[in-house]
Amino acid sequence: MIHSSSRAAAFIVALCGAGVSHAGTIRHDRLDQAYRDRAALPQFAPVGSYTGSVFGSFTVIAPNWAITAAHVVDSDLDGLISDESITNDTLRIGAQSRTATQAIIPVGINGNRGWNGNINDGFDIALVHFATPFTGITPASIYTSFQELGQSITSVGFGATGTGKTGAFQSAGTKRAGDNVVDRYVTFSNGATALRWDFDEPAPRVSPNQSGSTTPLDLEYLIAGGDSGGGSFIFENDVWSLAGVHSGTYPSYVYAGATDQDSTYGDEALITRVAAYQQFILTHIPDVVLAVPEPSGVAVLVLSCVMMTRRRRDQR
């Protein structure tokens, strides 16, 4: 669901790359309740809905901080948030609501502004502060290992829905979670990177395979407009951590007979890569929890040799 002030801008963006996420769908041969049940799992409790000039989603990453997409807080897509009424925005998880007090977007190299209002230039990420922590919500940890490619990933948010055959024609506002596999990285002209995957159709398939496997996951899913700013999670080393922030979709295929051509089978997602912005996050939120990757086999071997050497010295 694109807010009216930026419909034209988002349409222009869609012509040359990814458009601001405005559709999201589930497999046509699966029950919607399965996606709702997945979203209700405890590891996805930090994901809530964001209501401002744009309706979107967010993930709590510290007691008083959430992360969302820059285009959710920058309602006119001019690359600035100084002209936005952030303190009128509301963050909700279940029956709890909090009012935003501040939003921060990243700046680029050498002081140049990073976020410029175009999701195809990257930097589509924002930090939002709120005064009172949510009760009973454990903040999500941040994925840091840059090993997303080929991994199963779970997207969580409050987006519009439909199926891969119909497109997203039902309104946003219900929390859902679905799965996909990171097929490839996107590198923008300014060097920023993002994650990308396609919406695979069950056999017999009509839509083309854009990248990666042709076999959909059991709860294959593509993000929705209300999913913008929501979280994509990876399970690694027995920990669920936030690896992506929902940014947009690529209208890669026109599915014959769809009620709405947004996010049909064959379309693709654009996801802001959280690991690439960990320094930005730490600069403003020192108490954020990082999901530190396990040491590699070589590192473990080196550490073992060091420990054995120390023991031999101690025995002398």
Give the model's confidence band at 293: pLDDT under 50 very low, under 70 low, under 90 confident, else very high: confident
Query: Which amino acid is located at 221 in the chain?
Result: Y
Tell me the per-residue pLDDT of 17-57, one tens digit each, with 9 for 90 and over.
Answer: 665 544 368 999 999 999 999 999 999 999 999 999 999 99
Give the HSE-up count for residue 186: Cα atoms under 13 Å, Cβ half-sphere: 26
* pTM of the shown model: 0.86
> Who's near 147: CB < 8 A, 6+ residues apart?
236, 293
Compute how many other C-beta atoms are within 10 angstroms of the C-beta atom of residue 233.
Answer: 26
Give the model's confidence band at 304: pLDDT under 50 very low, under 70 low, under 90 confident, else very high: very low
Delimit the domains of the chain by residue range.
4-291
The secondary structure element, H or E, covering residue 19 is strand 19-20
Q: Percentage of the chain surpassing pLDDT 90?
A: 74
Q: Give the model's pLDDT for residue 13.
A: 37
pLDDT, mean of residues 6-13? 31
Query: Rounded to an integer, what distance in angstroms lies between the CA atom of residue 182 and that of residue 184?
Result: 6
Tell me the per-residue pLDDT of 152-171, one tens digit each, with 9 for 90 and over.
Answer: 999 999 999 999 999 999 98
Nearest in space to 207 (alpha carbons), one of 166, 150, 248, 161: 166
Q: Give the model's pLDDT for residue 211.
A: 86
Q: Give the model's pLDDT for residue 9.
A: 31
Q: Which residues pair with 269 in a beta bridge?
A: 197, 249
**Residue at token pair 């031999």:** 312
Q: What is the mean pLDDT of the chain?
A: 86
The pair of structure tokens assigned to 315 is 């025995």
Give the model's confidence band at 306: pLDDT under 50 very low, under 70 low, under 90 confident, else very high: very low
Task: Say yes or no to pLDDT of 2 above 60.
Answer: no
Could you confirm whether domain 4-291 is CATH 2.40.10.120?
A: yes
Query: Rounded to an integer, what distance in angstroms lies between the CA atom of residue 260 and that of residue 254?
Result: 10
Is residue 2 helix, strand or coil? Answer: coil
Q: Give the model's pLDDT for residue 11.
A: 28
Task: Say yes or no to pLDDT of 286 above 80.
Answer: yes
Nearest in space to 91 (alpha carbons), one of 49, 42, 128, 129: 49
The overall longest dimension of the chain from CA atoms, in Å, is 80
Q: Give the model's pLDDT for residue 276.
A: 94
pLDDT, mean of residues 267-279? 95
DSSP state of 297: H
Helices then strands, counting H and E runs in the chain, come out as 5, 20
Tell me the per-residue pLDDT of 85-139, one tens digit each, with 9 for 90 and over.
Answer: 999 999 999 999 999 999 999 876 555 669 999 999 999 999 999 999 999 999 9
Query: Which amino acid is located at 46 in the chain?
Result: P
Give the model's confidence band at 310: pLDDT under 50 very low, under 70 low, under 90 confident, else very high: very low
